Structure 1
Amino acid sequence: MDKNTQIYFENLKSKDKNIQYEAYTNIMEATNEQVNWAYEVWDQLKGDLTHPDHHQRSRAAQFLANLSKSDPSQRMLEDFPAVWEVTKDPKFVTARHSLQAIWKVGLAGPKLREVVVDHLVERFRNCENEKNYTLIRSDIIQGLRHLYDVVKDEEIEQKALELVDTVEDSKYRKKYLGKWRKK
């Protein structure tokens, strides 16, 4: 890991929120591409998924989602349940940020793509009893769209449209469909 990246990870612990945010954005930008240092931080991030600070839980889930493309050992296959759990965090903003990033795990290959899509589909079907379930559904449809845009798997599109068809409220059905139809 280069010195700047090490500093960014150290700066996540700063008391200054601006320094933390700058570190977060730099790490997210770096992990948009494959990196060779994923395993240097993997175990710490996995541990942070249950950290008392919701910011650390959220960042850990987002970083691990991004780092899954830099995971040749496919650790994410075993660690996915822990990352997924953060999408149901009691702190809604933490859950939502994690859910919005989880689709990136699907970029790590066909097995993880299937795991991600199956979890998103199941969550969409069964989240009506959750607080803010319409936002959760919106994030799921958007995540499926992002994944489709990168991998061009027609099965993802089909599943997303089938989910939208199950929505009884025409206002939300139209909203979710709008996310998908913008090509």
Structure 2
Amino acid sequence: MDERTRHYFAELQSSDKNAQYEAYSSIMKITEEKVDWAYEVWDQLKEELTSKDPHKRSRAAQFLSRLAISDPEQRMLEDFPQVWEVTYDKKFVTARHSLQAIWRIGLAGEKQKEMVIRHLAARFDNCVDEKHATLIRFDIIQGLRNLYDKVQDEAIKQLAFDLIEKEEDPKYQKKYAAVWK
């Protein structure tokens, strides 16, 4: 890991919220592409998935989701349940940020893509009794769209339309469908 990136990870622990945000934004940008240092932070990020600090849990889930493309050992196949758990976090903003990032795991390979799609579809079906179910469903449809845009798999698009059809409220059905226009 280069010094600049190491500095960003150190700055996440800063008491200065602006420095933390700058570091977070920089890491998010860097991890849009493959990196060769994923395993230098992987175990620490896994630990942070259960931190008492919701910001750490959120960042850990988001970073691990983005680092899945830099995971030649395919650790994510085993670690996915821990990342997925954060999408149910007691702090909704933490859960939502995690859910909004999780589609990126699907960019790591066919097994990862199928795993993510399966979990997103099941969550769409089963979240109706959760608080903020319509936001959760929107994020799932948006995540499927994001994944589709990157991998151009028509099965993802079809799944999204099938899920949208399951929505009983026409207002939300229209909102979810707008993601695909």
Same fold (TM over 0.5): yes
How many angstroms apart in 1 are the aligned matches of 2:166 and 2:20? 41
Structure-1 residue corresponding to 2:171: 171
Q: Amino acid of the residue matched to residue 175 of structure 1?
A: K
Shift of 1:67: 0.2
Q: Deviations over 1:6-61 (max 9, x none)?
A: 00000000001000000000001000000000000000000000000000000000
Structure-2 residue corresponding to 1:85: 85
Mapping for residues 1-183 of structure 1, pairs under 5 Å:
1-180=1-180, 182=181
Q: Deviations over 1:128-162 (max 9, x none)?
A: 11000000000000000000000000000011100
Q: Amino acid of the residue matched to residue 141 of structure 2?
A: I
SS at match of 1:72: coil
How many angstroms apart in 1 are the aligned matches of 2:144 and 2:51? 28
Q: Amino acid of the residue matched to residue 6 of structure 1?
A: R
Shift of 1:98: 0.2
Shift of 1:96: 0.1
Aligned length: 181
How many angstroms apart in 2 are the aligned matches of 1:26 and 1:178? 30
How many angstroms apart in 1 are the aligned matches of 2:64 and 2:167? 31
SS at match of 2:179: helix
- Taking structure 2 as the reference length, the TM-score comes to 1.00
How many angstroms apart in 2 are the aligned matches of 1:32 and 1:14? 23
How many angstroms apart in 1 are the aligned matches of 2:166 and 2:33? 35
Q: Amino acid of the residue matched to residue 86 of structure 1?
A: V
Q: Detail structure 1 runs of 4+ shifted over 2 Å in the superposition.
A: none
Q: Deviations over 1:53-110 (max 9, x none)?
A: 0000000000000000000000000000000000000000000000000000000000
How many angstroms apart in 2 are the aligned matches of 1:65 and 1:82? 11
Pairwise CA RMSD: 0.3
Percent identical among aligned pairs is 65
How many angstroms apart in 2 are the aligned matches of 1:89 and 1:126? 16
